[in-house]
Amino acid sequence: MTRYARPLTVTFLSASTLAYEILLVRVFAIEQFHHFAYMAIGIAMLGFGASGTLVALARPQQESAARWFAWAAVLTPVALVASATLVHQVPLDATQLPWDVGQWPRLALVYLLLALPFAVAALAVLLALTLEPERTGWIYGASFLGAGLGAALAVAVLWIVFPVRALAVPALVASLGGMSAVPVAATRKTPLKGCAWGTLLLGAAVFVEPLWRLDITPYKGLPQVEAFPDARRVAERASPLGWVVAVDASAFRHAPGLSLTYTGAFPRQTALFVDAEIAGAVSDWSAEAAARAILDWLPSALPYALGERREVLVIGAGGGLEVWNALAHGAHRVKALELNPELVRLGGWSDSTVVGSPQAVEVEWAIGDARGHVAGSRERFDLITMGGGRAYGTSAAGVHALNEDFLHTQEAYVSYVERLSDEGVLAITRWLTVPPRENVRVILTAVEALRRHAPDAVAHGLVVARSWATGTVLMKPSGFSSQDVERLAAWAEARRFDLDWYPGIDVPATRFNIMDEPVLYRAAAAAVAGSDSAERFAAAYAFDVTVADDARPYPHHFLRVGSLRSFLAGSRGSWLPFAEWGYIALLATLVQSVVLAGLLMLVPAALRARGAGSAGWLRLVGYFTAIGLAYLAAEVAAIQQLNLLLGHPVYAVAAVLTAFLICSGAGSAWSDRQPATRGWIVGAVLVGMLMLCAAQLLALIHLLQPTPLPLRVAVAVAVLAPLAFLMGTPFPLGLRFLASMDTGAVAWAWAANGFSSVVATPLAALIALEAGSQVLFLAAAAAYACAALLHGGFSRLGSPGV
Amino acid sequence: MKLRRAGILLLALHLGSAGCVAAQEREQSASDPNEPQRLAMVRLIRDYGVRDPATLAAMRSVLRHEFVPEGYRRRAYGDHPLPIGYGQTISQPYIVAYMTETLDPEPGMNVLEVGTGSGYQAAVLAEIGCQVYTVEIFEVLATSARQRLERLGYTNVTVRHADGHYGWSEAAPFDVIIVTAAAGYIPPALVEQLKPGGRMVIPVGSVYGVQNLILVEKDASGDVRTHNLLPVRFVPMLKGLR
């Protein structure tokens, strides 16, 4: 029984911390903004490495280590509860961080509180490794297994309970870890056992009655609309896709980019929020039938000016505004694709009793990933339309910059265009920012897609229209006739919208919505002139507006690294209009994690002096740093690409992450049977596999996209399993060399690996953003190559006293 | 000789007047320790390109710290937005000045503000001599802004707790409308209540992100046009666009 106690404890603790990490990201993304969640939790993960530094400095003897192990395991659930409770007591206003130094100590306190459970749990895992040096593969494999199960658990829990309660689940799981540690405790077992039972009760009590509550920043849409005079929350749903809330308020109105010449009525609307940010509205047309006229005064109604669109596909249909638009314009059949089933349900499309009036119309809803659906479909449509969707604020503030979005890549646009009927049109409406960037990228991407689909169509297949707040791009592979252009121009003129581009235009023709520079005209002219001129235009533009593709699926990222110098050179606040918070948070996370990791590694090492700075210490740290960097880089790249293959951003990520970690766990356990000297061979094989992934994986995914899901899953497993299996071996193989050394060497290795994993997370995201997942695979290969080289020298070193 | 005597008299009068102004400034400075910060704020705004004397004078006169919650007063004159509760903010001074200059308000003009917030923007317009009607949807903010403006002596501002979607038809038409709480659409009533020849300015977007300023102009025939305004201070960032 005791043989399995430590691996079991490690499994529970790893599951609890990974689940806590994922759930914390969810809760923070609701309370604050996703980019802040990313930064805060990214830094908190330094707790993993800090446990290594602590053990390296303390170098506990066997008996002490066994005692510490048990207590760390028992205290992990307490730390999880304390962290979640106390962090909600810190009065931090993240929006004031740029100019209020008073917020920085609070941020530091948040980091510390968040880091606490990771540090305590990691301490237990590390001590387990030092206590059983002959079974490092088993112990480390258990950690991988637990992490994999924790990822799956977090996603499953989010289906069952609301995020605020879900945050208590990791403590419950960790308490099981504490209980399983009791049999191997080298201390008086009675108090320990009592404490372990106490933590189980604590976990259960907190699950029933959480000690914290959602504290949503007042700058989000939900608290603001809920503060309106007669606002009433009418429905609430939770799932891993987000926390969806519907609010009725007479002062709420949603009409993105409505024409200034509209003088009619507004429908009564129910606001829909995902993670407290506006995600659309449900309109009650029955109360005032005349209000339906408003639909024809929205910029997204432009394609209907071309004449009847019988078959319409709405991508990202949300609450159904664009579905109603299609129906109001006489569509005979509307197919609506939406990823989040709760939005459809609250929109009244599948459960008419929830919100608003019953939607008694024939609309075919498909719940799931639009990209995968389109790839597997043979249907043809007269119109495929994609609306703005998100709230203006979040769109413009760049908080989605880090989000992968395979719906707005060149390959995606090609797949939509292929599903158009002979006279079909693809319409994409986005918010307009000043200076324009998202609209510019949509134009460049659309024209490149059109060029790939039908090169001859480019000259006559593009129309760009602009309202005071939005830009709409129309693509028609069969080409816009002069009658088409006349109809669009008349429709636009009545609404005071401008046509920035149409076939035959020779000079900018802005009449109603004046901009300093005719940027959209120039972008369209450059794109239509050819790929080279489009590239030159993008290269000269102040923002990154290059065509997004499946290897670099970040269509909402615009900030160039070079622009940051201008920010820093300007006075405080002058960069606000250009701030892309997601990207800035990523860079801030990277800088902070590098600095803090360096301090937590190097300062203690320097203080300790013995061995630190020596060639042996550097090799050891170098090897474990390299494999930490490589693992994260390969994992991020693989998840990104397999996400496209499996076609669902949440389930795919959860499934891939779980499978990845469990396979790595199996690899780690298997490594116990291998000679430690084989580490360099593993490294070399991994280099080859990762280079192959960089070269061929995306092409394979494109080939398989239209195939049935079981086949895609089988291929994903076939690609993933051997890679993840081997990636689980370098760490335990490396540790085995240290078996003959003291606890300090193992602890430094753990610290180096922990810190590098933390640094690697924002670094990998940055590489993916700037260079794409293929380069990320190559970066991982390079890091494994370094590890293989260091492993050779490291193995020859092999003397105690490092 | 007479001319020289007259010159001396004028000089004496001038010196006397200057002495009087300096004394006033000293008096004001003594009574308002925030004045140096406020003057520095106005210098900064001027450096960023706001040149309208009336706007700058109003920004100099309005006691911004009075419109900022107690806990943030120390930073009232920094060029950044500050929270005032209910997820609302007092806009950064430059944005207030830029919007005011863009509207080109004149004494006696009829002005509608949608989104009173703290009342700071209304005070700036009132300082210029406009008759300001301001609407706030959050009752607590409307009440506190009304009390604050009354306390500070702004008699030409009327605050109403109402939904700005409907404007203020009893006080319409307006020479100038300023909307500080846009939500992706411009209420038709506001366009309707704008005088021919009138101007409306709307900052769209996140207060901590992009402030996309839009100017709506109604010509003599009642037709509307919009201008996407690019704040002048950000021009150096945009060389690539020019």
Domains (range + CATH), chain A: 1-216 (1.20.1250.20), 295-554 (3.40.50.150), 555-802 (1.20.1250)
Catalytic-residue membership of B91: yes
pLDDT tens per residue, range B152-163: 999 999 999 999
Q: What distance in Å separates the CA atoms of residue A749 and residue A794, rounded to the nearest whole number?
A: 12
Instruction: Count Cα neighbours of A146 within 13 Å in the Cβ-side half-sphere.
Output: 28
Instruction: Name the minimum distance, in Å, from the CA of B211 to any CA of chain A.
Output: 6
| B222 at A interface, C-beta within 8 A | no
User: What's the CA gap between B101 and A672, in Å, rounded?
Assistant: 74
Q: How far apart are CA B222 and CA A267, in angstroms?
A: 26
The pLDDT, as a whole number, for residue A136 is 87
Instruction: Exactly one of B29, B91, B144, B221 is catalytic; name it.
Output: B91
Give the best residue of B73, B91, B98, B212 to mutate against chain A (max A CB count within 10 A). Answer: B212
Residues of B in contact with A514 (CB under 8 A): 225-228
Of B78, B212, B224, the CB nearest to A496: B224
End-to-end CA distance of chain B: 62
- Residues in chain B closer than 8 A to A217 (CB atoms): 87
Residue type, position A639, single letter: I
Q: Under an 8 A CB cutoff, do A433 and B225 touch? A: no
Q: Report the SS3 class of residue B36.
A: helix
Q: What is the pLDDT, as a whole number, of residue B27?
A: 46
Q: What is the pLDDT of residue A801?
A: 35
Q: Report the CATH number of the B35-240 domain.
A: 3.40.50.150
Q: How far apart are CA A732 and CA A730, in angstroms?
A: 6
| The predicted structure's pLDDT at residue A576 | 55
**How many other CB atoms are found less than 10 A from the CB of residue B114?**
28
- By Cβ distance, the residue of A219, A542, A572 closest to B241 is A542
pLDDT of residue A94: 79
Do A513 and B163 count as a contact with CB atoms less than 8 A apart?
A: no
Phi, psi of A461 (to 5 degrees): -105, 10
Query: Each residue of A287-307: pLDDT tens digit?
Result: 777 788 999 999 999 999 999
3-state helix, strand, coil in chain B (%, to 5): 50, 20, 30
> In this complex, how many residue pairs, one in chain A and one in chain B, have their CB atoms less than 8 Å apart?
179
User: How does DSSP classify residue A552?
Assistant: B
Tell me whether residues B210 and A396 touch, CB distance under 8 A. Answer: yes
8 Å CB contact of B186 and A260: yes
Q: What angle do CA B66, B69, B71 make, to 5 degrees?
A: 120
Question: Is A468 in contact with B214 (Cβ distance < 8 A)?
Answer: yes
- CA-CA distance, A624 to B102, in Å (whole number)? 59
pLDDT at A396: 42
CB A78, CB A137: distance < 8 Å? no
pLDDT, mean of residues B213-220: 91
Strand partners, A236: A245
Please indicate whether, in this complex, the C-beta atoms of A576 and B78 are within 8 angstroms of each other: no
Q: Which two tokens stand for residue B228?
A: 């996407």
d(CA A276, CA A280): 12
Contact check, Cβ <8 Å, B80/A224:
no
State whether residue B52 is helix, strand or coil. Answer: coil
A254, A392, A498, best to mutate vs chain B, most B CBs in 10 Å = A392
pTM: 0.86
More confident residue, A664 or B82: A664
What confidence score (pLDDT) does residue A24 get?
A: 87
Contact: A514, B192; criterion CB under 8 Å: no
Residue with tokens 């690409």: A641
CA dist A73 and A372 (Å) reads 43
Q: Does B43 touch chain A (CB under 8 A)?
A: no
Residue of A nearest to B237 (CA): A566
Q: Is the Cβ pair A396, B225 closer than 8 Å?
A: no
Q: Smallest CA–CA separation between B33 and chain A, in Å?
A: 21
Contact B214/A at CB under 8 A:
yes
Q: What does the block give as tokens for A352?
A: 């008419």
- Per-residue pLDDT of B220-238, as tens digits, reads 998 999 998 765 444 333 3
Q: A493: Cβ–Cβ under 8 A, 6 or more apart, which residues? A: A511
CB contact under 8 A, B183 and A253: yes
What are the chain A neighbours of B185 within 8 Å (beta carbons)?
A: 253-258, 469
Of B48, B138, B226, the CB nearest to A514: B226
What 3-state DSSP class applies to A413?
helix
Strand, helix or coil for residue B110:
strand
- At residue B181 the predicted structure's pLDDT band, cuts being 50, 70 and 90, is low
Q: State residue B158's pLDDT score.
A: 97
Q: In Å, how far is A98's CA from the nearest CA of chain B?
A: 10
What is the Cα–Cα distance from A150 to A361, expressed in whole angstroms?
A: 43
* Chain A residue closest in CA terms to B71: A102
Instruction: Report the DSSP pairing between strands A513-514 and B224-229.
Output: parallel
Mean pLDDT: which of A542-546, A600-604, B119-123, B206-210 is highest?
B119-123
Which of A576, A578, A583 is the best residue to mutate to test the B interface, defined by the most B CB atoms within 10 Å of its own CB?
Answer: A576
| Residues of chain A where predicted confidence (pLDDT) is lower than 50 | 352-358, 391-399, 572-573, 612, 797-802
Beta bridge partners of B82: B90
pLDDT at residue B74 tops 70: yes
Q: Which of B143, B206, B213, B234 to probe by mutation at the A interface, max A CB count within 10 Å?
A: B206
| Contact at CB, B87 and A577, closer than 8 angstroms | no
In three state form, how does the secondary structure of A225-250 look? HHCCCCCEEEEEEEECCEEEEEEECC
CB atoms within 10 A of CB B184: 21
Query: Measured between CB atoms, does B71 come within 8 Å of chain A?
Result: no
Bridge partner list, A498 = A466
**Predicted pLDDT of residue A550:** 93
| Cα separation, A83 vs A210, whole angstroms | 13
Q: Do B210 and A574 touch (CB under 8 A)?
A: no
Stretch 178-207 of chain B: residues touching chain A, C-beta under 8 Å: 183-186, 188, 191-192, 204-207
Arithmetic mean of pLDDT, B112-129: 96
